[in-house]
Structure 1
Amino acid sequence: MFYDSIYYILGKFIYAKGRWLYMKKWEVSKINKELAKELAFECDVDPFVAMIAASRGYDDPALLEEFLSDEPMFSDPFSLTDIENAVACINEAIENDELISVYGDYDCDGVTATALLYSYLIKRGARVVCRIPDRFSEGYGMNKTAVEELHSKGVNLIVTVDNGISCFDEVAFANSLGIKVVVTDHHLPPESLPDAVAVVDPHRADDYSEFKDICGVGVAFNLVCALEGAEPEEMIEEYGDLVALGTIGDVMPLISVNRSFVRLGIKRILSGERMGISALMKIAGIDSAAFSSSRVAFGLVPRINAAGRMGSALRAFKLLVTEDEQEAYDLAKEIGEENSLRQQIEKNILDEAIAIIENEKLYLQRVIVVSGENWHHGIVGIVASRICETYGKPTIVLSIDGDLAHGSGRSIEGFSLYECINSAADYTEKFGGHELAAGVTVKKENIDVFACSVNNYARTIKPIVPVLKLDCKLNPVALSLDLFDELNVLQPFGTGNNVPIFGLCGVKIDKISSVAGGKHLKLSFSKNNVSFQAMLFSCSEEAFAFKLDDVLDIAVILDAGTFNGKRYLSIIIKDYRISGINDDDLAQQIADYDDFYALVPRNYDNIAPSREECAVVYKHISRGTVSARAVEQFFMNELGLAKVKIIIDIFVELGLLCRDNNEVETLRVNSGGGKVDLENSSILKRARG
């Protein structure tokens, strides 16, 4: 349970069935030690911290001091275009005792934005109701049925939060009913804007606010600051917890204004003044003594989102605004139970999807498109993310419901999923999104041609190799609690300011121990007479590709724990591989293998194996059941990754080997197989051209 708790709060990805089916190229940040010394002296910070910060772009004393400053950094709310009109309209509605509706969204950003504006308006004495659409029956944004419903209740003004920028017809319909509309949003606007009283969005072409990468709750916060006529530094003390929760939940870059939102918001969360958040922390088992942005991201945000994924997001809204301790606990408990149910449904869909991918060899496609009957619509996006992480490829997961399939996709950096789906627009009913995530609806009869079309597009683009960015390489002797504490000045960590990742190269495995009933591994390493331990989560001994005395390169992050009142350094493995890999060669090998199965016309002599090379690999595997990754890594430096994978594929094709995909992809000699002729392999023939 202890290790499971660490695993959970650090937010590690749960790879499908413990499998990690691809390798990443490691990119080490460029380090300027002389510049780091100068920055350390000028800014009075630890030289190592200065070095890490400089590699992240804070390479000027003024920039670094601004980044590390405890002084809040906020934009002027009135720098947002149209906010004065929004303020005038809302204040007039309050003064005239008009009924105001806050129209939100069902994700964490939308719920926190709704709670923030609702709470403020109630405090102002306004008559206010909130409206959050149902994910399944209504979908995202305003709809005419909801507008009619609000009209029947006597609503005079609708204020949207985290939506509305594209709701032309709905705003026009509200206008026709005599309802005024103020739009506040943060999504990219179309060329024209809705005909609302005011449209507040930092991404408007005519908006000149300094910092634009705020989310919906960030825009709502600026609105209440403007309504109150107060400085953000004052208002953050009351609403910072909601702003932090939504900012982290919407994966905003934690720089500039957002850094202040989260840093000050976490202080507000820890004050315990918002009963709902405190109750949710208790249900989630989050210790306030070790609270951080990571705990928000992986402990609180999924639970807030679960309310809207599994049912009504109004429960999460009520949780955030209640002032009744018992109600807060009951709602937190209900949402926590639904999150557990969400996790189980997610696992079931993931297992089913992985089985389809393996059986149909969809992992050989540039873009994985997998579909199933009646998969939970609110969860397919998470499953797509898990599959993308498992295989290192853009993934679209479709849930078939009658004649239609609704789905979500996730991508890797460098491959625009939106452009990919747009190339297959003729086979979709509707779609939307951006580079790394998208939603799409297709007819059931068009799933295959849609999958073919997106892969045809992907074949026109050079294969994108997943990258793991390391801040620097370290000697294990440098690892200490003091180093961890020094690095904490860079907090809060998140998108745009990631937890530092370090490369420990050439470390020898001294001991392999299973923990938490075999779910995780505790590994002992040594280098130059320095010994240390590190945790590898969601990996059993069977799944681990290496043995005692193997020499590895490992990528790690640092954390601190407490046991029997004593603090200790915790080293967490993010990636591992055989030592000495050339990353440029690795990237080319991954691209070669990808091209081969994507049927990209080119010469493949460099990955076509000889009979002798096949024999060497077969002899190694014939000693007993081994993991595919172990074989790939064992021969990687000698033969190259692509060639080793091709050899394994040839053996499986000819029936010499069996692939087992229970917990880990393992290889074993087929006891029923006889002598075969390698020349009969269609894979080998195609590789040789």
Structure 2
Amino acid sequence: MRSFGAFSAFRCLNACREYLSRYGGHPGAGGFSLPAKQVDAFQSAVEAYAASEFPEMPDLAIEADLLLLPQQITMENMMSLSALAPFGEGNPIPVFALCHAVLREVVPLAKGAHTKLRITYGPMALELLLFRVRPEAFPMKPGTVCDFLVNAEISTFQGKPQLSLIIKDYRRSGLKQAKYFAAKQTYEKFCRRESLSAAYCRAITPSRQELIQIYQRIPESALSLDTLFGGLQNLPEMNYCKMRIAVDIFSELHLVQQNRWTEQVTRVSVQGKADLQASKLLQGLQKKGADVS
């Protein structure tokens, strides 16, 4: 079990200990064992604890330690970070922000398992490494202005130091972050069947045209939901909650498969046309006053 923010994994396990054979850990992570017959009761207890202690769950966020300007990206500066080592729990490796960089090229690495991004950052041409993301899954196109959070790592190649900038997170410059997190929290409330106002229902109900546009962007290979959302930024009324509900509608109609643990979605092969209006989820939102015409 892993956690973040003020939500303590250990306190949660301790509150639900009557269902556990053993447990231990600390605020950020914990381990536990329990009889199989107690799984459902334990899950309910965790949900009850979370609802009681954290009506608004914390958001997983990565904070930058420093906005790194182009002239600061030198081998000498990056090698000086070794004075802060060793890195680990309580002393994480520094995270740097690169803001308003222009994406120039998306290049496959390791037969397409990973991705290299070539960018222009001020007067500098840089290469950033993005692991476990396929080039076709990266949502931005060359020419896009992006913000990146990176770690700087120094390795040795043929006896010479080599600087690698490892991407921790990325976004299109200008993304309204507060709006993104608010929509994500609204989706979680919707999934918990909490009451939402008619105005909220209207804002999170995808129109037929939006459903079509979202579906067309889902490939027949696994795509992360955040990557899918990044590719929808040109839709004027799009928000994260609306996109997730659209994917849930497609799942209900057996048009896609989604993995809620890895937050990935895959289009499945279907015969004929699907009746989007047959979705009970969509009908339910319509009854709550949403205009989806």
Give the TM-score range, shorter chain.
0.7 to 0.9
Shift of 1:457: 2.1
Task: Report whether the alignment pairs 1:671 with 2:265.
Answer: no
The SS at the match of 2:179 is helix
The one-character-per-residue Cα deviations of 1:111-157 (angstroms, maximum 9, x if unpaired) are xxxxxxxxxxxxxxxxxxxxxxxxxxxxxxxxxxxxxxxxxxxxxxx
Aligned counterparts, 1:261-660, within 5 A? 409-460=1-52, 461=54, 462-603=56-197, 604-605=200-201, 606-618=203-215, 620-621=216-217, 627=223, 628-636=225-233, 638=236, 639-655=238-254, 657-659=255-257
Q: In the alignment, is the contact (CA less than 8 A) between 1:543 and 1:664 conserved in 2?
A: no
- Paired with 1:570 and 1:520, the residues of 2 have a C-alpha distance of 14
The one-character-per-residue Cα deviations of 1:385-427 (angstroms, maximum 9, x if unpaired) are xxxxxxxxxxxxxxxxxxxxxxxx2222321223323333333
Letter in 1 for 2:156: T
Shift of 1:481: 0.7
The one-character-per-residue Cα deviations of 1:159-217 (angstroms, maximum 9, x if unpaired) are xxxxxxxxxxxxxxxxxxxxxxxxxxxxxxxxxxxxxxxxxxxxxxxxxxxxxxxxxxx
- Paired with 2:82 and 2:219, the residues of 1 have a C-alpha distance of 48
Shift of 1:624: 7.7
- Paired with 1:659 and 1:420, the residues of 2 have a C-alpha distance of 31
- Paired with 1:465 and 1:623, the residues of 2 have a C-alpha distance of 28
- Paired with 1:571 and 1:474, the residues of 2 have a C-alpha distance of 12
- Paired with 2:270 and 2:71, the residues of 1 have a C-alpha distance of 48
In structure 2, what is the equivalent of residue 214 of structure 1? none
Q: In the alignment, is the contact (CA less than 8 A) between 1:522 and 1:534 conserved in 2?
A: yes
Shift of 1:666: 4.5
The SS at the match of 2:150 is strand
- Paired with 1:565 and 1:585, the residues of 2 have a C-alpha distance of 48
- Paired with 2:249 and 2:130, the residues of 1 have a C-alpha distance of 32
Shift of 1:468: 0.3
Aligned counterparts, 1:228-247, within 5 A? none
Q: In the alignment, is the contact (CA less than 8 A) between 2:12 and 2:46 conserved in 1?
A: yes
1:565–1:675: structure 2 CA closer, same or farther, 3 Å change rule? Answer: closer
Q: In the alignment, is the contact (CA less than 8 A) between 1:476 and 1:532 conserved in 2?
A: no
Shift of 1:533: 0.5
The SS at the match of 2:244 is helix
Q: In the alignment, is the contact (CA less than 8 A) between 1:506 and 1:553 conserved in 2?
A: yes
The SS at the match of 1:450 is helix
Aligned counterparts, 1:244-259, within 5 A? none
Letter in 1 for 2:279: S
Greater strand content = 2
The one-character-per-residue Cα deviations of 1:213-254 (angstroms, maximum 9, x if unpaired) are xxxxxxxxxxxxxxxxxxxxxxxxxxxxxxxxxxxxxxxxxx
- Paired with 1:496 and 1:682, the residues of 2 have a C-alpha distance of 47
In structure 2, what is the equivalent of residue 301 of structure 1? none
Q: In the alignment, is the contact (CA less than 8 A) between 2:153 and 2:165 conserved in 1?
A: yes
Q: In the alignment, is the contact (CA less than 8 A) between 2:20 and 2:33 conserved in 1?
A: yes
1:457–1:665: structure 2 CA closer, same or farther, 3 Å change rule? Answer: same
In structure 1, what is the equivalent of residue 291 of structure 2? none
Query: 5+ unaligned residues in a row in structure 1: which ranges?
Result: 1-408
Letter in 2 for 1:560: I
Q: In the alignment, is the contact (CA less than 8 A) between 2:116 and 2:129 conserved in 1?
A: yes
The SS at the match of 2:231 is helix
The SS at the match of 1:573 is strand
| Sequence identity (%) | 30
1:664–1:541: structure 2 CA closer, same or farther, 3 Å change rule? Answer: farther
- Paired with 2:285 and 2:57, the residues of 1 have a C-alpha distance of 18
Q: In the alignment, is the contact (CA less than 8 A) between 1:559 and 1:570 conserved in 2?
A: yes
| Residues paired across the two proteins, number | 277
Greater helix content = 1
- TM-score normalised by the chain length of structure 2: 0.80
1:485–1:433: structure 2 CA closer, same or farther, 3 Å change rule? Answer: closer
- TM-score normalised by the chain length of structure 1: 0.37
Letter in 2 for 1:558: A
The SS at the match of 1:593 is helix
- Which structure has the bigger radius of gyration? 1
- Paired with 2:184 and 2:154, the residues of 1 have a C-alpha distance of 36
1:673–1:597: structure 2 CA closer, same or farther, 3 Å change rule? Answer: farther
The one-character-per-residue Cα deviations of 1:30-72 (angstroms, maximum 9, x if unpaired) are xxxxxxxxxxxxxxxxxxxxxxxxxxxxxxxxxxxxxxxxxxx
Moved over 6 A (4+): 622-626
The SS at the match of 1:499 is coil
Shift of 1:524: 0.8
Letter in 2 for 1:414: A
Letter in 1 for 2:28: L
